[in-house]
Structures are given as structure tokens and as C-alpha cells.
Structure 1
């Protein structure tokens, strides 16, 4: 069964061109699935898997306290795996045909107000190369709405300051060209001219735009630590995630009348329904403003 999993992961990498983080999620989900089949259901042949085995697996996960979002992700992974086996003639049926994904609770993303964004963006100290880097990263995130994985994946050649755009590779290896505002361009220019070289050794040929103190590409975990520290220094009490500036970017654009399709394209959403959740955020915020300021609210 493990060999079939390796074949499937190879298919996702080579033919589907999925991102590394997506591959890791598939592998983690399917390893736990195969372990369950082998140890609890005593199934050692994937062709013997029945719908009831998968239903029991999902109940097993639920009993462990897994969220509906995690269950839905496992269903998607298991379904894709069995469809692959059927297509490759490694199985003669697909046991996931009548398996339904759990209903997801659509939580509204947390966003910062304009004042909070301003406070956060001004938190880095600009008298050292670390501060110049952090300022450039925050300005770039808020200016473009790119994902943190896309931010740390940027190379120096992906940013075109004179023309005012950034090129990034998103989910499924899809390329996006996103406009870059003057403020963000200025912060990146300052970092490139006065900060980035101080992270590098003389012999370094690192292409990554944002570097850590070893002169290597900054990681997601490294960025997350920086964001938590800056949030604390800025005195922002809201619970932030690495995606908070992305959510704020989308919400503030829509609040100011931006076209939903244009925002979808900039965010790199395959489905516009994903972008539409931000319209709910703007409606909620409008209600809050109404309740606070209308004399008869």
C-alpha cells in the first residue's frame, strides 16, 4: 500500500504540479489513513477497501476531536487517492463515490482596521537591516495580498519596482502579476539598497528576496515569529495569523469599491466563492459602524 502512496505523490508532483505544502498535507493525511486501514480494519489490499471502512475512519478522526475542516481535507485526500488507483487500474472500484464531505463552518476572517494596519506597518525600526527587511515584508504583504508562502518564495528578480508590479507563483504553480503601490516599492527599494546585502556573506549568491540572519531564504516559521514580535511591539491585542494582512488587503479593497473579480485575480483564488467571504466581512463591519454611530441604532 505504501508503494501506491509513493506513486500517487509522484503523480501529484510531476503531473499536477502541486505546491510542496499541499503535497505534505496529502502525504500526512494518507499515511494516517493507511495506518488506520492496516492496524484497525486489518485491510492490507487497497482493492478491498469499502465505503464502510472510510466512514469508520472519519468517525475515528472525529472521536479524536478533529475539526470539520480537517475531516473535509482527509475526505478530499482519500477521494483523490482512490480515484487515482481506479484510473491506474490498481483497483476495480472507488469506495469514496457516496462519501460526502462534512459541512464546513465558514468563519469570517479576522481583519485589521486601517489604523491597526498603519500601526503594524510602522512597528519595524528602520535603523538596522532587520527592521528594513521586516518593513519591506509587511508593506509588500499588505500592498499585494500575497500568501506568506508566496512572499518567502519570492526571488529578487520577481520584483519590478520601476514598473510597479510583483510576479509570484501561487497554488498549482500558477503565475500571478500583481500591482505594487509606491509605498511598498519604496520600502523594498530601501531594503534592497541598504539592508539585504548585510544579511549576505561576500561569496553568497542567494536569489531569495527575503533573508534570515544566516543569509538564507526566510522560512514561514521565521516570518511567523517576526509577525508575533511586531504585533506585540505595536500593542495590537487582536489575535493575528500569517494571513491577517492578506485578509485585510482584500477587505479594505472591497470596502473602497474594488471589483470582486479583480480582487479574486489578485488573491489567486480559483473560485470566486472563496473571495466572496470578504464581502460578508465588509457587511459585518458596516453593521458595527452603524450600531456605533447611528443615533437610533
Structure 2
């Protein structure tokens, strides 16, 4: 079996056995393709079954010259997963990555926006343009429901349970969860649907997609990034932000206002509470205030 066949089989494994999204699968495969390119450039003919730890160490050494520790760690993790798959399928007896350590990296705290900054960004939207109402509904939903950008672009009209104050969100690995939605958020989605969306000629296959572009198709992730980047420029925001910043802000503000960490975990769709716990480190001032307020010795 050559690298192409091994990678293709690995794709099927990630999709069917592990239920990963297309974006996650693409990232895993990219790590392996970088290794294959290194082998080709150096005229090394090793295949997935006989490549040695020494060759992989050479590859990691080359990677370290151009990538930061966090990116290096991601590639090492991706390769470990691939070779674990080969061991699991009895293609190899060992994982050549077992003794290769990832570089030490600090845990990166997410960037957040203040409530004032979020209001300024939303306030900068030009509502005189048809896409203005759509963009306001998009930002309100990103922040109000803590969605990933892929969850937002995939949101369907049939996912809106406004009478019950919930929306159904399809997250990583096609796992679904119900997230509460506020009255203000429902208001702006309804304005967009009833005053703007109904005038768009919807393309076949996108009839149930909530947020559409001018051509009547689903918005791309890149378009959401562009909308936020332009608004950031408009208000002169000095922070570098993305759609994910609204998700981080959602979780941080909930925590600051006393929300339970388990509830935040469920709303964000985190499989592990450990992932959610990163928000415990975002605002230490708030944690100090909580301790002083609730600790029996105070």
C-alpha cells in the first residue's frame, strides 16, 4: 500500500469510525501530506509501513525551522493519530511517533470582546443595505448562542424552535445540541427572515438554510470572517478578531455573570469539561471577587 491509498483509507476511518467533520479530516490529512512532500523532496522511498522513527525525526527537525511550537505540536499529534490507525488496522507493529515528544507550549487563552465592543461592532452595521439586517442577525446569533462559524452557516430554518426558546445546532461530527436563544436574538432573525430573506431568489438545495448570500446560496466561512473584519476596521478596533471571538466572549460573559460551567459546556457543545475550563482562566479578577463573596472565611 502506498501513501495515497493509506491516506484515503485513513480519511474513511476518520469520517466513519470517528465521525469527524470535513474540516477536521482535512487538517489531519494535511499533516500526513506534509510528511509525504518531505519524503519526495529528499528522494526517500519509505512507505507508511516501513518509515522509521529516524526519518520522521528528520521531518520534525525541518518542520521546527519554519513553524512555531504550537503548529509543530499539532503536526506531531496528527502523525501520531495516523500511525496509531495503522497499528490498529495491523498494518504496522509499532508507532514510530511513540518516543517523539511535542514541544512544550503554554495554554493559549482565547481573545474576548467586552460587551461594549460587541455593541459597537453591531452598531456599525449599515442597516440601509439589504445585507445589513442579515449581518446584524448573524452577529447576534454568533454571540447570543455561542456558535462556531460552521454551525452558523449550516443553521436551518427548521432548526429554529422559537416557541420553546431554543435552536438546534449541528456541531462537530454532526452531533446535535439544543441551545437557548434570547428574545432579542429571535427578534433580529425574524426581521431578517420576514423583511429581507423572503425577497431573495433561493437556489435549489438551499431552501432551508437560514443565512443566504445575494445569490441565494449558503454563506461561506470566509464571508463571515470578511464581515467581521470590515466591521472591526470601521470602529477602529485594535484587537485581531474572528467569528470564534464571539463564541469565546459568549462563554466568558456567561461565566462572569455567574453561569454554571457545566451549563456553558452543554451550550458550547464541548465533549469534555476540560475544554470549557479554559474560560476559568480568562478573568482572574472575577474569580477573586467570587471567592471573596462566597468563601465562608470572608
TM-score of the two chains, using structure 1 as the length reference: 0.90
Partner of 2:70: 69
Residues 89-127 of structure 1 deviation map (CA, whole Å, 9 limit, x = unaligned): 222322122222222222222111111111122222334
Coordinate RMSD, CA, aligned: 2.0
Tell me the CA shift for residue 282 of structure 1.
Answer: 1.3
Structure 1 stretch displaced more, 98-107 or 73-82? 98-107
Aligned to 1:98: 99
Q: Which moved more, 1:157-166 or 1:201-210?
A: 201-210
**CA displacement, residues 160-191 of structure 1 (integer Å, 9 cap, x when unaligned):** 22211111111122111100011111111111
Q: Distance in 2 between matches of 1:202 and 1:279?
A: 44
The yes-or-no answer on 1:250 pairing with 2:247 is no
Q: Distance in 2 between matches of 1:25 and 1:177?
A: 27
- SS of the residue corresponding to residue 12 of structure 1 reads helix
SS in 2 for 1:146: coil
Residue 295 of structure 1: aligned partner = none
| Aligned counterpart, 2:24 | 22
Unaligned runs of 5+ in 2: 289-298
Partner of 2:39: 37
Give the aligned partner of residue 270 of structure 1: 271
Unmatched runs of 5 consecutive residues or more in structure 1: 288-297
Q: CA offsets, 1:2-54, max 9 Å, x none?
A: 11111111111222221011111112111111222343271332222222222
Report which stretch shifted further, 90-99 or 70-79. 90-99
Inter-CA distance 286–123: structure 2 relative to 1 (3 Å threshold): farther
Counterpart-to-counterpart distance in 2, 1:137 and 1:277: 25
Number of the residue aligned with 1:10 = 12
CA change 1:91–1:286 in 2 (3 A) is: closer
- Name 1:200's counterpart in structure 2: 201
TM-score, reference length from structure 2: 0.89
Aligned counterparts, 1:1-297, within 5 A: 1-40=3-42, 42-64=44-66, 66-201=67-202, 206-283=207-284
Residue 220 of structure 1 deviates from its aligned partner by 0.6
Rounded to whole Å, the distance in 1 between the matches of 2:108 and 2:286 is 15
User: What is the SS of the residue equivalent to 1:195?
Assistant: helix
Kept after mapping to 1: 8 A contact 2:142/2:243: no
What per-residue deviation string (whole Å, max 9, x for no partner) do you get for residues 64-104 of structure 1? 2x122211211121111111112222223221222222222
Cα 1:17–1:162 change in 2 (3 A) is: same
